[in-house]
Amino acid sequence: MTKSITPETIEEAIEWLGTQVFCCHSLASALSGYDYTEKLTTNEHVQQSLDFLESLLQRDEISNDGTWSKSYTLEELPFTREQWLRKIAQELREGKI
């Protein structure tokens, strides 16, 4: 069973960025409570993470190929993964998501 995605879950995902390269993997780890590479982080956690983040990545024109660049370019983004996830957590708190 997975947790709900809340601002607190997003904050946990930020902590997982220390060991996980991708926002999706860090959120899946936050949902499961385990490192992404452990079998206890299931496809259900990964899918929940993808379902939540994919449209937000598209909305913010962030490539979902793992390069952390603007979509369809190699242009570096002016913010970090951590900053972006903090913005998402704030939007959740404000009811914008």
DSSP state at residue 75? P
| pLDDT tens string 9-62 | 999 999 999 888 899 999 999 999 998 887 777 889 989 999 999 999 999 999
Looking at the domain assignment, is residue 43 inside a domain?
yes
Looking at the domain assignment, is residue 57 inside a domain?
yes
Q: Is 2 a residue whose pLDDT tops 80? A: no
Q: Is 3 a residue whose pLDDT tops 60? A: yes
Helix (DSSP H) and strand (DSSP E) numbers for the chain: 4, 0
Looking at the domain assignment, is residue 58 inside a domain?
yes
Q: Are 31 and 46 in contact (CB under 8 A)?
A: no
* pLDDT at 42 (0 to 100): 83
pTM higher than the cut 0.75: yes
What gap in Å lies between CA 3 and CA 94, rounded to an integer? 20
CA distances from 83 to 44, 65, 74 (A): 26, 18, 19
The number of folded domains in the chain is 1
Looking at the domain assignment, is residue 16 inside a domain?
yes
Looking at the domain assignment, is residue 2 inside a domain?
no
Range of the domain at 36: 7-93
* pLDDT at 1 (0 to 100): 55
Looking at the domain assignment, is residue 1 inside a domain?
no
Looking at the domain assignment, is residue 80 inside a domain?
yes
